[in-house]
Amino acid sequence: MVEEETSAGVTNQLHPPSTPLFACKDISLDLGGREILKDISLQVDRGEVLGVIGPNGAGKTSLFEVLSGRHTAKSGSVIFNGQDVTALPLYQRARIGIGRTYQTPVVPEELTVGESFKAARQAYKPYLTAQEESWARGLVRFWIDPNEPTVLLDTLDRRKLLLCCLMMRRPSLLLMDEPAAGLINSEVDEFDELIRILAKELNLAIVIVEHRMELLDTIADRVMVMDAGEKISEGDLGSVLQDPRVRAAYFEDVH
Ligand SMILES: Nc1ncnc2c1ncn2[C@@H]1O[C@H](COP(=O)(O)OP(=O)(O)O)[C@@H](O)[C@H]1O
Ligand SMILES: [Mg+2]
């Protein structure tokens, strides 16, 4: 509760507007002389899952590049935990709790699993302990032998290794770009269960690019739809799928 004294000397009690953990406002991005993103705004709070959908090439990954700090937007701002992080590079955003996963799980192929964990623990100070590593392994259910070369891991285990290394730092926001891409059906269920735990038990804020409507239906509180670099709809999954602009974006090519 905030107390404010008006010019008439009367004290008003104001409810401060609730600030979400993470937001971006009016993000525009040009790459190679082309407009890739136009005036994208979004927000997500702790314990909330925002799904992002849209046809291939809509700009979903490019948006994540801006939100995580890999690309610099032409205009717009990114706010995390009450701080304007628009000018912070990727590694600094990672340090303050913005975690990101990638469409393609690239592991350090010259290292073993154990060496990868060690590198992640010692990536920056304070170094993380073996307990924190084992907490993350338990969370992700990643039990591969530390001596295993990462180059031998299949896609599921690559995704799990990277997620363990990310979770060790206890990010409060996760930007997940197609986390189930490349997994076979029997693996997808296990990964989906993990995403549910991250979202609903660890109280993280999650923005997830995902094509599978059945997963979004169960975990996403809201869904935003992108097409050709713009946000064309946002709301609960049922209503955005009924939106004529969304239907046109998805089905206009199907003739
Ligand atoms: N580095 C880049 N340089 C130029 N164009 C790019 C670059 N990265 C992506 N694009 C273009 O931006 C558009 C959006 O791509 P992307 O963000 O990968 O879409 P999505 O993830 O929704 O499939 C595409 O037309 C793509 O070709
Ligand atoms: Mg993409």
Nearest CA to ligand 1 atom 12: 36
Nearest CA to ligand 1 atom 3: 31
**What would the mean pLDDT of 24-44 be, rounded to a whole number?**
98
Which atom belonging to ligand 1 lies closest to the Cα atom of 63? 17
- The model's confidence at residue 159, banded by pLDDT at 50, 70 and 90, is very high
pTM over 0.95: no
Ligand nearest to the CA of 228: 1
- The model's confidence at residue 253, banded by pLDDT at 50, 70 and 90, is low
- The model's confidence at residue 17, banded by pLDDT at 50, 70 and 90, is low
Residue 68 alpha carbon to ligand 1 centre in Å: 16
Q: Side by side, which strands form the sheet with 34-44?
A: 34-44, 22-31, 75-80, 83-84
Pocket of ligand 1 (CB under 6 A): 31-32, 36, 54, 56-62
Domains of the chain as residue ranges with CATH: 2-107+170-251 (3.40.50.300)
pLDDT per position as a tens digit, 176-232: 999 999 999 889 988 889 998 998 899 999 999 999 998 899 999 999 999 999 999
Residues with CB under 5 A from ligand 2 (ion): 60-61
**What would the mean pLDDT of 70-94 be, rounded to a whole number?**
97
Please check the confidence at residue 235 and state whether its pLDDT lies above 60. yes
Which atom belonging to ligand 1 lies closest to the Cα atom of 59? 17
pLDDT per position as a tens digit, 101-141: 999 999 999 999 999 999 999 998 999 999 999 999 999 99
Q: 62, 101, 175: which to mutate for ligand 1, most atoms within 8 A of CB? A: 62
Q: What six digits make up the tokens of 3?
A: 């107390």
Measure the CA–CA gap between 234 and 39, rounded to whole angstroms: 14
Please check the confidence at residue 10 and state whether its pLDDT lies above 60. no
pLDDT of residue 1: 40
Please check the confidence at residue 58 and state whether its pLDDT lies above 50. yes
How would you classify the pairing of strands 34-44 and 22-31?
antiparallel
